[in-house]
Structure 1
C-alpha cells in the first residue's frame, strides 16, 4: 500500500495594501524572482536575524574571564588599516590636483 507523501510546503496567507504588493512586486522583478520567492526569502532572513539576536552563548567561567580580558585589553593596530586611513580620500586627492 502506498504511503501518503509528507507535505513539504505549508501555505501562508497575508492581507497587504496594494501599495505594499506593488513595492514587493517591483523589488522581486528587479531581482528576477517571483513574489513568493522574494517574500519567503525576506521573511526567512528576518527570522534568522531575530533568532541570532536572541541566541544564548554559553561558556565556562574561565572562558568568560578570558573573553572579558580580551575585550578590556587595548586594541592592537592593524598595519594595513593604518596605512589605508593615512591615505587622502579620493575627493581630497582630486582637490589637491586641481589646486596645482
Structure 2
C-alpha cells in the first residue's frame, strides 16, 4: 500500500550479498519502485504479519458469546468442500498410461 513520504529520521544500513541485491533490484523494478522503497515496504509488511500473529484478539463480551456459540453449534456442510473431499487424491487416481 502506498505511503506518504515521511521525514527520514532513522537510517537503516545492511550489508547483503550481491545475489540478494540483484534479486531485490529485479523485483523492485518489476513493481516500478526503488530498492529502498521496496525493501522498506517488505520489511514493514513482514513486521506487521509477525505482530498480527502474536497480538491477542480483543472482543466484547457479547461478541465472545456469539463466537463461542458459532463454534459450539452444529457444523454446516459447505457443498463445494464436500465435493472436493469426495474426490480421490491425485495419488489415488489411475494414470492414463495404466
TM-score (normalised: structure 1): 0.63
Task: State how many pairs are aligned.
Answer: 89
1:40-98 deviation digits (Å, cap 9, x = unpaired)? 111110222133231542212x3212211212334322111111222234565461x22
Aligned residue for 2:97, secondary structure, equals: helix
Aligned residue for 2:77, secondary structure, equals: coil
Distance 1:91 1:28 in 2: 40
Greater helix content: 1
**Aligned structure 1 segments of 4 or more residues deviating by more than 3 angstroms:** 88-94
Gapped regions of structure 2 (runs ≥ 5): none
Of residues 7, 12, 34, the one that matches 1:9 is 7
Distance 1:43 1:55 in 2: 22
1:49 matched residue in structure 2: 49
Distance 1:22 1:35 in 2: 14
